[in-house]
Amino acid sequence: MNAPIITREEQLYRAARDMQPNLRARVKETARLGHLPDATIAEMQAAGFFRIMQTARYGGFEMDPAVFFKVQMTLAEACMSTAWVLGVVAIHNWQLSLFDDRAQRDVWGEDSSTLISSSYMPVGKVEHVEGGYQLSGHWGFSSGSRHCDWAFLGAVVPPKNPGDTPDYRTFLVPKGDYEIAENWNVSGLEGTGSHDIVVKNAFVPEYRTHRSIHGFECNSPGNSVNDHYIFRLPFGQIFVRAVSSSSIGCLKGVVDSYIAVNKDRVGLNDGNKIATDPDAQMALAEAVAAIDECQTIMFRNFDAMVDVAKAGETLAIEERIKMRFDAALVARKCTEAINRMFISCGAQGIFRDHPLNRAWLDINAGRTHVANNPFKFGRNLGGSMMGGENSDFFL
């Protein structure tokens, strides 16, 4: 009998599941270091996780986003810091595939496993110079920066002529042109190593920039050489999931721990079993429902995006606005769920070695990312549905 054929997707899922014991064993070390251990990065490289949405021209797999985010959530069950770094760094391989091919060659010409960190804050100072731009600035929250040799940095290009619209771009900068200011001293997601990036008067050629409007229109310079449909997906819809989806996996990873901790635990004040406490029961039920809801909506939205891209069309603005709100709701739903579970664990939960403590810190830390604040995006959805103008173009 012939052995069953294992697809590349299943190989990736198995590799992610197989990594979980190592990640759990390194959780304390990861938090202590303030960045991922080199062994964790090496294992993810060997498994091909960074290549899932990278162009095939440089060794990538060109897979649908649903595959990538399933891998990310699987890793998050064991270590949310690891999943967070994979999310934001590997998504950059997809974005670099949207750049001019010269930029892709600069990064991957000698080593297609080279990684890129980022900070999309529009804080850079930009000056027009011959052949490109002069860039300076101080950016925060560049996750995984110690493991990367390039950085994507956000800045607004000033108009050359009066009346022209300012032009937000991502600037691709090599490590030799920036410094990492190691200031990551936080509670929650300590292992992401999200240090600051400092640039002083670096020259960035025109071709090493990516215009936000091109990502919005799904028509970037890289599409001339990378014609797979995943490179016609809206940039704003892909990146935001990189900073929200790990919360789903992290929440899923502590459900069994919550049951184990509370199934036979007895309350110190009344002597009753916690398993019979209606609040403890409801906290568990709502967490399971939140995981199911967030995953279902995410995969449904990815299916819709991929279908549109395969048809050679662009996603309607109304759908983008709704999907953007869906993504922003994830962190809030997961935070509310983990907080209810944490409280149901009693005072023991505040001890660092408690099974839920790490998930509680990490999920709440992830909620603070600007892309995970649903209020702006919810107001935009509600307002546009009632006839108002769309106020968000990172869609």
pLDDT digits (tens, 9 = 90+) for 271-293: 678 778 899 999 999 999 999 99
Q: Is the dihedral of CA 394, 102, 229, 83 positive or negative?
A: negative
Judge whether residue 269 has pLDDT over 70.
no
CATH of domain 8-96: 1.10.540.10
Mean pLDDT, rounded, for 191-213: 97
Listed in order, the ranges of the chain carrying CATH 2.40.110.10 are 115-210
Cα separation, 192 vs 151, in Å, equals 15
- Sorting pLDDT into bands at 50, 70 and 90, what band is 342? very high
Judge whether residue 348 has pLDDT over 90.
no
- Sorting pLDDT into bands at 50, 70 and 90, what band is 162? confident
pTM, entire model? 0.95
The architecture of the domain spanning 115-210 is Beta Barrel (2.40)
Cα separation, 111 vs 150, in Å, equals 13
Interval 356-385: pLDDT, tens: 999 999 999 999 999 999 999 999 999 999
The architecture of the domain spanning 235-385 is Up-down Bundle (1.20)
- Sorting pLDDT into bands at 50, 70 and 90, what band is 3? low
Cα separation, 224 vs 103, in Å, equals 13
Listed in order, the ranges of the chain carrying CATH 1.10.540.10 are 8-96
